[in-house]
Structure 1
Amino acid sequence: MAGLLEISKVSVEPLGQELHYRVTDSTTGTVVANVSPVAVGEPPQVSPLKRFGKRVMLGQLAGWPHLRRHVPRITVLVTDASNSPVMFLDRADKITGNPYASQCAVIEPDGRVAGYLTDDHYKSPMPTADVVDAEGMSIVGGRRHLRDQNGTAICDVVIRVAIPPLPGALNYDENVDTTRFVGQDGTVWARRRGQSPLLEISPDTPYPIRRMIVASVIADTITNDHQIVASSSKNPLTPLQAVPDPYPGYADVHSRYMEYQREFIEWYRKAMTG
């Protein structure tokens, strides 16, 4: 039986419990991995006065729920079919004022950093008719990357959208790539088609890239379920304190990113309000 880092068609399905998922080889229907939380941060304790102060600071942006919403740090453990650890996925806090999903670190079972799933918050996430590929699809590339342990980009996550004059039906066509994971030499290592959550990975994908792609599929599912929400009324996640830390180096793995996030929030507020 092929393992999690060997399969070519990957799907992630939520289970009944919060932050619990199973990963399936869609070719055979076999469950190849399970995902469960090991640490979930406490929501910030904000007094009414501080909450009012934040709204004043955000100004006209205060009415946007995705800016008001803080999402705590989430760390999950991925285990294989025999319940052996494969990797940790550690999503940094999304601080109030940041509209985008936060960085996720991919951690080996022994605590070594395998890589990062990152977004350039300063670049627009929206496709335009000005940037198209050879097939006329509008694309967003160079914003989201899979990076190795040194922070070097090894894969560009490219979003493809059909906008006029192309027919909108292309965005739902199961034969059309809507997401591509593109290596630094231009090789397409993985793809999603239409609106399917299924990810297809090329059998030739090198192990380091494959591992980060699989991690990205799981992390994206968690993000879509718990971090990118239309309303701040969504039930908060249940805190879960890891005792001791889930892996060595846990305390500092996001320290540089958190500083980056704070700097971006200040820049974004000024850019949006003038």
Structure 2
Amino acid sequence: MAAGLFESTSLRLNPANLYEVQDVGTGATLARLVEVARVRSPRGHWITPDRVRTPRLTFAVTAPDGTALMYYDRAEHQTLNPIAPQTAFVGTDGRVLARLECDSHSTFHGGGRVLGTTDQGWFLAPGARLHDPEARPLGDLVFEQPPNMDRPILPDGRDARTLRWMTMDGVQLAERRNGDLHIDGRVTGAWRAIIIGSYLAMAFEFHLPINEGEATETVPNVYPGYTDVHTDYNEFQRDFMIQYRRPMRTRAAPVVFRAGVQRDQLEHLFKLFWPVGVALVIVLALFRWVI
């Protein structure tokens, strides 16, 4: 049973419990996601704004008997970052199988290209890229995008667009249709785990965490090498957010901030000056009382 997840060619997330992976044909539960770590970078002091939107989340993908099959490890996501964070797929021995990131094909980083169209006239647009442990491209996840650029959704709010797994040589390995993952029966080895892991990553996107819980600032030892799995990405994300917060110049206005930046700045100023305002009110009240 422990190998059932990697043998099935059709998988879906259980609509009643998105932490369960089922076989499409039989409905049997083949795996569960069990949260094993929720970690965040230090909050700093009250003067420094908290830049963490969601913490780093690590799940063990387990067989029904509880045996760990692999780890799904999503990086910390910073406030205001419009791009879903990187996810790593890791073997139980700590070996990174692959990483999935959406930055390469984001319009913020020069993405947004169209590869072609389907017979129905829908655009083929890459939305995410898979990398091997040495950061070399393995393949792209390509959306079938409606001409009106809408984003159809499933009843549970997840993305309903068809998604293709394509190698860098243009070979299709799998496809997500109506939320279900269909893997080419010829796909074997680590590619199975990589496709399943990236299917989960694209399904969850901004939907994690589902359960409530406090994040720790102490990094645990979930698997060998856990501490450094997202080090390069975290540095990239910090640099990107510095650029994102800077004002832009456009033809319409000399200074324009990107979405959410001004609100974030105002919230920080309120947080910064609220204690000062309270202190002034108390001082004035005491002064009037003394007089």
Q: TM-score range by the shorter chain?
A: 0.7 to 0.9
Distance 2:21 2:217 in 1: 25
Identify which of 14, 18, 21 aligns with 1:23: 21
Deviates more, 1:212-221 or 1:7-16: 7-16
Closer, same or farther: CA 121–47 of 1 in aligned 2, 3 Å:
farther
Decide whether the 8 Å contact of 2:105 with 2:128 is kept in 1: no
Matched, 1:149 2:133: yes
Deviates more, 1:113-122 or 1:96-105: 113-122
Matched, 1:203 2:185: yes
1:7 corresponding residue in structure 2: 8
1:270 Cα deviation (Å)?
3.3
Distance 1:160 1:218 in 2: 18
Distance 1:161 1:209 in 2: 25
1:246 Cα deviation (Å)?
0.7
SS of residue in 2 equivalent to 1:86? strand
Partner amino acid for 1:8? T
Closer, same or farther: CA 220–130 of 1 in aligned 2, 3 Å:
closer
1:262 Cα deviation (Å)?
1.1
Structure number with larger C-alpha Rg = 2
Identify which of 230, 246, 250 aligns with 1:270: 246
User: Which digits, 9 at most, give the CA deviation of each residue in 1:216-258, with x for residues without a partner?
Assistant: 122334434227xxxxxx9964336888511111111111111
In structure 1, stretches of 5+ residues that fail to align are 55-67, 228-233
Closer, same or farther: CA 131–108 of 1 in aligned 2, 3 Å:
closer
Among the aligned pairs, what percent are the same residue?
Answer: 30
Matches within 5 A, 1:71-150: 71-120=54-103, 123-124=106-107, 132-135=116-119, 136-141=121-126, 143-150=127-134
Closer, same or farther: CA 112–129 of 1 in aligned 2, 3 Å:
closer
Identify which of 28, 32, 35 aligns with 2:33: 35
Distance 2:186 2:22 in 1: 20
Distance 2:218 2:52 in 1: 23
Decide whether the 8 Å contact of 1:140 with 1:160 is kept in 2: yes
Decide whether the 8 Å contact of 2:37 with 2:220 is kept in 1: no
1:217 corresponding residue in structure 2: 199
Distance 2:57 2:144 in 1: 29
Q: Could you say which structure has the greater relative contact order, defined with CA pairs below 8 angstroms and 6 or more residues apart?
A: 1
User: Which digits, 9 at most, give the CA deviation of each residue in 1:137-195, with x for residues without a partner?
Assistant: 22322x5112222222222100111215x9x8x968xxx972111112212111122xx
Matches within 5 A, 1:40-55: 40-42=38-40, 45=43, 49-51=47-49
Identify which of 208, 212, 235 aligns with 1:259: 235
Distance 2:105 2:247 in 1: 10
TM-score, length-normalised on structure 2? 0.70
Closer, same or farther: CA 255–244 of 1 in aligned 2, 3 Å:
closer
Distance 1:45 1:243 in 2: 14
In structure 2, stretches of 5+ residues that fail to align are 154-159, 249-255, 258-291
Decide whether the 8 Å contact of 1:24 with 1:30 is kept in 2: yes
Closer, same or farther: CA 128–138 of 1 in aligned 2, 3 Å:
farther
SS of residue in 2 equivalent to 1:32? strand
* Count of residues paired in the alignment: 242
Closer, same or farther: CA 264–122 of 1 in aligned 2, 3 Å:
farther
Decide whether the 8 Å contact of 1:88 with 1:108 is kept in 2: yes
Distance 1:27 1:130 in 2: 33
